[in-house]
Amino acid sequence: MPKYTIEKLQKKANDIRKDIIKMLVAAGSGHSAGPLGTADIFTALYFAIMNHDPKNPFWEDRDRLILSNGHICPVRYATMAHAGYFPISELKTLRHLGTRLQGHPERLRLPGVETTSGPLGSGLAQASGYAYAARMDGKRFRVFCICSDGEHDEGNHWEAVFFAGKYNLSNLTVIVDRNNIQIDGHTEDVMPLEPLVDKYRAFNWTVIEVDGHNIEQIIDAVEQARAVYENPTVIIAHTIPGKGVSFMENLPEWHGKPPTAEEAKIALRELRTLGGKIKSEND
């Protein structure tokens, strides 16, 4: 992929947010908060961090990205389209009958999607298996796994945490979307996760905390993870669910619903204004 400045990455993330809104309106269903909140993370991964080739999605030495919380797939689809995996116009087929862009990603439908995701808590086990197999085969690609904070309620997630820590899977980097909400409310009310940093450290993980909307911090954190050779790394990215759309931000009710057509107009207007501010802030 071509190299982008931080300003261009910020603008790309904003464009991706706009497409997420358009996709959700066209679908009439889907998740809003998580996709908007992770747009900066996906932008950093696809345009500044991962080794991948949209024209050769099965390239053997590509980095692998496992999306555990598959319901936030609108952000992955939008980012992949902007990266050149398929036409941006296809985004409006989200959740339509027969589309490649299912409500949860399907590996066999869309080249560039490594795993079929849906059951929460499963992604880290899949990513750990990839990383373990890569070590056995002497491969040097990295495995990235994005997971939500809410799916830390699942026991199988912690089994994978134990496994990766035991086998010192230093080729594995996990990014936790720490947005503090899940479908039933705020995470600390549903099932408290803190002290999350201490829990990972207790199982032999290197922990890095970042502002999940600061692309430069995200890139720097991954570079730090590349330098760790003794254990896996988890990047806890503090994000705002619904980022960029004022009436969605930090509200659990936007976890799993799309905007109406009128709400989408307001959201897109706010995002266009935000896009204009990016340039002025970097001048």
Domain residues of the chain, as ranges?
6-282
What pLDDT does residue 121 have?
Answer: 93
The stretches in the chain having pLDDT less than 70 are 1-2, 279-283
The predicted model scores a pTM of 0.96
**Superfamily for the 6-282 domain:** Thiamin diphosphate (ThDP)-binding fold, Pyr/PP domains (3.40.50.970)
What pLDDT does residue 282 have?
Answer: 54
What pLDDT does residue 203 have?
Answer: 97
What pLDDT does residue 271 have?
Answer: 97
33 with 248: CB under 8 angstroms? yes
Helix axes 6-27, 261-282, angle to 10 degrees: 180
Cα–Cα nearest to 124, from 175, 178, 197: 175
What pLDDT does residue 235 have?
Answer: 98
What pLDDT does residue 278 have?
Answer: 86
Query: Where in 102-163 does DSSP place strands (E)?
Result: 143-148
Alpha-carbon dihedral angle through residues 48, 258, 124, 52, given to the nearest 10 degrees: -30
